Structure 1
């Protein structure tokens, strides 16, 4: 065995169809495109969402609602989560950096503290927003609330 008699495995290599190379090839003339119509022409490309002339779905369905450009998206964190963090890491101050290090949020997230759960640790909590129940829960155990 040497380089002169190397061959690919039987059936692994197929010859490509040579389209539009004369009548004798069997694929001349219309070049497998059929007769007339947009798909037979060169340069044909269907528009995205085109449904053959039928009214496309995006035009059949009515528009509704709107996107508020002033919406502020907050990452919600409950008071019970702050309690667990404080116990686990022996903390008295919880701010955005502590939450980022704990994997609760990203550096670009705005944080809102919500009042679900029980808080027993006296904490200084720094966040972008607080619900009324969260604020009262933190202040009930003589903690402080700091809005960033």
Structure 2
């Protein structure tokens, strides 16, 4: 048996209805009837149309607020073992090493884990405890406002 020999069971597949293609019930008006809004091309009232009254969404009370915060790419201290001790780690190094996948997000350093080497890290944000651990190991965290 070859792939080219495979065919569906007779009667299991049905041809699609071709409307507007000559006599046979769905020819001239293609099953839309005569005139009216719903017979026109591209016309219709939409899913949420409620007969002309205000839609449900606009009648409901609006409450609260939407907070669009910054979404950081997170890096933990335990992940820094990939780099040589005493090295300077830039934004590109995080991407090359695979610690950060999305290069569009700023990097934030978190304090999970322990750090053994003295690193100089260029990150966009860092937690206070992460900065304290890096400095205790003899390293330095450089944030954008310090550059």
Cα distance in 2 for partners of 1:110, 1:66 equals 21
Partner of 1:76: helix, strand, or coil?
strand
Tell me the number of residue pairs that the alignment of Structure 1 and Structure 2 aligns: 129
Secondary structure at the aligned position of 1:100 is classed as helix
Unpaired segments of 5 or more residues in structure 2?
A: 1-10
> Match for residue 5 of structure 2?
none
Aligned-residue Cα RMSD (Å) equals 3.6
Question: How high is the TM-score relative to the length of structure 2?
Answer: 0.63
Larger radius of gyration: 1
TM-score where L is the length of structure 1: 0.63
Question: Following TM superposition, by how much is the alpha carbon of 1:96 offset from its aligned partner in structure 2, in angstroms?
Answer: 1.1
Aligned residue number for residue 121 of structure 1:
117
Gaps of 5+ in 1: 1-10
Alpha-carbon distance, 1:78 to partner: 0.9
What secondary structure does 2:113 align onto?
coil
Aligned partners of 2:113, 2:99: CA distance in 1, in Å? 17
